Amino acid sequence: MGGEIAVDYSLGRCEVALWSRTPSSLERVAHRAHDLLGTLEGLGIADPDRVAQAQVKLSFTADLGQACQGAALVVECVPEDFDVKVEVLRRVGALAPAAVVASNTSSLGISDLGIASALGGQFLGTHYWNPPTLMPLVEVVVGRETDKRVVAAVLALLRDIGKEPAIVPDIPGFVWNRLQFALLREAARLVQEEGVPATVIDLIVRRGLGRRWAILGPFETVELGGVNTFVTVARRLFAELQAADVDPEVLRWIVDQPPAVARPELIRRRDEGLAAALRAEAMEESHWNQ
């Protein structure tokens, strides 16, 4: 994620120093970042001139002090371990005391991280979605101590590099993962208890829910479909859904089954599909702006 987020900012014409803790991991992420720029050019997301400019704006270092020197924003993307994150965040706070610091955590509390790291009002969460270069949405998580001016500055920067930020509460899982895992829990329950094939669930979400939700959100769907109808159905289903008790380990059993599509094919389908959606959105916006 760190390398892809760095590429995203470099494509947004920001000077970016990408830090990794070891030379070997730094070499891997540098290769990945340069390969990704080529992939984005091939997908029609970035033209050759923009890719060339981004290449120049990216630098790589195993020295955290060098990476933090003169930084206005530091985005932390170390593994999802509270103590590891706090250790890195404290170092960043000492090396770049004037910088805004953002964590890309997907599950740890922003207020808890900020207090433990002693970063005060300069700290908040920016939760990107994989792959960041093809997913415009970023959850901006405001901690109890986060300065409102910091929030405004980060929102402006994210919009400037082409992202679509959404302020969400500092609650476990924020919003996207709350929704994602609620669906995943019910999907796992359907496989485990009702014998629905995982491939059927993937098909229904991709070709049904996913296709419609790309255009209408869940509450817009209720509005269009009729609130009385949805209330009637909800009376039958809400209690059962909320009472679902599913062991998370069932996901390992489901996913460990022989996959219907090889992983490289999944990545290709995901990236090409997301790129096509971005190109279509850009064309639609251009049409309405004429």
Q: What is the longest distance spanned by two Cα atoms in the chain? A: 60
- The pLDDT mean for the chain works out to 91
How large is the average pLDDT for residues 239-261? 75
Band the pLDDT of 41: cuts 50, 70, 90: very high
| Residue 176 reports pLDDT greater than 70 | yes
Identify whether the C-beta of residue 104 lies closer than 8 Å to the C-beta of residue 80.
no
Q: For residue 287, what pLDDT is reported?
A: 64
More confident position, 107 or 95: 95
Q: For residue 245, what pLDDT is reported?
A: 79
The domains of the chain, with CATH numbers, are: 2-168 (3.40.50.720), 176-258 (1.10.1040.10)
Q: How far apart are the C-alpha atoms of 105 and 169, rounded to whole Å?
A: 14
First-to-final CA distance of the chain: 36
Identify whether the C-beta of residue 250 lies closer than 8 Å to the C-beta of residue 188.
yes
| From 136-140, 211-215, 244-248, 259-263, the region with the lowest mean pLDDT | 259-263
127 catalytic? Reply is yes
Rounded to 5°, the CA angle 263-265-267 comes to 70
| From 19-23, 197-201, 244-248, the region with the lowest mean pLDDT | 244-248
* Separation in Å, CA 221 to CA 164, 175, 203, 231: 21, 18, 20, 13
Q: For residue 258, what pLDDT is reported?
A: 59
Which among 70, 68, 79, 63 has a CA at the least distance from the CA of 26? 63
Which entry of 31, 34, 127, 287 is annotated as an active-site residue? 127
Q: For residue 1, what pLDDT is reported?
A: 86
Q: For residue 120, what pLDDT is reported?
A: 92
Q: For residue 9, what pLDDT is reported?
A: 97
Task: Output helix, strand, coil percentages for the chain, rounded to the nearest 5.
Answer: 60, 10, 30
How large is the average pLDDT for residues 67-80? 95
| Residue 77 reports pLDDT greater than 70 | yes
